Structure 1
Amino acid sequence: MEKIDIITVRDPKSPIAEAFRTLRTNIQFSSFDKSVQTVCITSSGPGEGKSTVSANLAVVMAEAGKRTLLIDCDQRKPMTHKIFKASNLVGLSNLLAGEVTIDNAIKPTVVDNLSIITAGIRPPNPSELLASAKMKHFIEDMKEKFDFIIFDTPPVLIVTDAQLLAGHTDGYLLVVSSGTAERNAAIKSKELLEKVNAKILGVILNKLDVSENSGYGKYYQYYYTEEVAKPTKKRK
């Protein structure tokens, strides 16, 4: 398999990779009554990085020892197969159409404990596919096989697809691109999810400038430098 180029794999000790591990911890402690097993990741509009966030979260979940499955539910603009350098000839759409079995649709990755299901060939009715009884039964089957399942769904303001999974999943993460997303769009997305009684686990601020010239970059540089360069006491 080809090596995948995402930050949690390429540079696991980076501040950004550490931020995804923090996100993992926050999700695990987001509910004390019921463990979170299924999460939808969406955004208000395109280009905010929801697929990249989905992939990185999937990696850190798998690294924690959880059997993790990432499902690309964005039939209109699928990205999971590109990120993981996999074929998209067979995927979720083919599975729900009864053309292939679950074993044929699930693909392993170079990351231990992490499997993916790509979007598959685009159907003429993506929304109906996600709203079908087959999708509901498929999710229930996957919950028996995997510890954690991530659904990469289309932007909530563009189509209704993300909202259709509200009744079948434990919560949503809304990705907001720093400096790109409009405040009103993010608020509208939150309202649309709440209308279908979706539990919003949190908002992920993506594409934040962490260069050394930014305040965040200086913070990270200071934090990691201080941890590494603490002087040791000389023995007398």
Structure 2
Amino acid sequence: MRIPSCHMEIEQVFLQLEKHECHSLCITSTNQGEGVSSLAQALTERHLLAGYRTLLVDLNLQNPSLIPLSFMPSDTDVAETNSHYLTFSQHNSVVLSGIAVPTNKAEIVELRQPKNLKKRIETWLKEFDKVIIDASSVSQLNTNNIPAQTIAGCCESTLMVILSGQTLQTEFKDALEKLENHNANIIGHVFNDKYQPSLKTEICREIERLHFLPNVITNKLITFVQNNRFLSTVV
């Protein structure tokens, strides 16, 4: 799912990041499928619109979203730079300055070491103003992945995505503790309300349950709620 970079919610997150002046950002979640990749790409686009040289790094080996692009311009130096950083998002169908997930086993093992990952981030920051890392979920801890808590501990700041109505509180607390144990600087939580019904939807559903009301009145009440501008602003 693509989140437009001009959405007000993205703007609010972007402004908060500006306050913290973070150069390297890790975005993760408790479980897989909570919307980390969508948020990471939207924030990358928003930072690019703000004039920042922004690099999106895909380190979510379980659910990669970037495909590397390569081409050979006439200028060899330009070819080396662009082919290394140009990627295509298979989820959002956009081209971004990014790095796709590593496929080399030795490189994956190398990046699992915090000191090596920190050096890699420092190298990226020599060419870019901002580095945004799309990390796997904290619960996905296996030998074929780069732990989210390791990535978070190597970045200046971390954002956690929470799927409203789906993520269990106990799971979230456990993930939070793991991140804090790795010295992650968690600056905020972003709630994904994809499966969370709005207040307007909940009111309409309750009206439909009032079977003692005539259909004419029920329909008028539902129409009134759906057209109410105030309720449209309440999530």
Alignment partner of 1:21 out of 3, 11, 24: 11
Structure 1: any 5+ residue segments left out of the alignment?
A: 90-100, 227-236
Amino acid in the other structure paired with 1:222: R
If you compute each CA radius of gyration, which structure gives the higher value, 1 or 2? 2
The 3-state SS of whatever aligns with 1:145 is: coil
1:125-178 superposed Cα distances (whole Å, 9 cap, x missing partner) = 735433265433221111121111111111112216111124421111111101
Superposed, 1:1-236 pairs within 5 Å as 6-8=2-4, 12=6, 17-29=7-19, 31=20, 35-79=21-65, 81=66, 86-87=67-68, 104-107=83-86, 114-121=96-103, 123=105, 126=108, 128-131=110-113, 133-159=115-141, 161-206=147-192, 207=194, 208-210=196-198, 213=201, 222=229
Q: How high is the sequence identity, in percent, across the aligned residues?
A: 26
Amino acid in the other structure paired with 1:64: A
- The TM-score, its normalising length taken from structure 2, stands at 0.69
- The TM-score, its normalising length taken from structure 1, stands at 0.69
Give the whole-Å Cα distance in 2 for the aligned partners of 1:203 and 1:22.
12
Give the whole-Å Cα distance in 2 for the aligned partners of 1:19 and 1:209.
17
Cα deviation, residue 120, structure 1:
3.8
Give the whole-Å Cα distance in 2 for the aligned partners of 1:104 and 1:50.
25
Query: Which deviates further from its counterpart, 68-77 or 123-132?
Result: 123-132
Give the whole-Å Cα distance in 2 for the aligned partners of 1:201 and 1:146.
21
Structure 2: any 5+ residue segments left out of the alignment?
A: 71-79, 204-224
Cα deviation, residue 105, structure 1:
2.4
Q: Extract structure 1 runs of 4+ deviating beyond 6 A.
A: 109-112, 223-226
Cα deviation, residue 121, structure 1:
2.4
Residue 115 and residue 214 in structure 1: after superposition, are their counterparts in 2 closer, same or farther (change >3 A)? farther
Cα deviation, residue 87, structure 1:
3.9
Residue 212 and residue 7 in structure 1: after superposition, are their counterparts in 2 closer, same or farther (change >3 A)? farther
1:25-71 superposed Cα distances (whole Å, 9 cap, x missing partner) = 01111x3xxx2111100011111111111111111111111111110
Give the whole-Å Cα distance in 1 for the aligned partners of 2:170 and 2:43.
26
Instruction: Give the superposed CA RMSD.
Output: 3.3
Contact 1:75 1:126 in 2 (8 A): no
Give the whole-Å Cα distance in 2 for the aligned partners of 1:105 and 1:173.
26
Give the whole-Å Cα distance in 1 for the aligned partners of 2:124 and 2:33.
28
Aligned pairs, number: 193
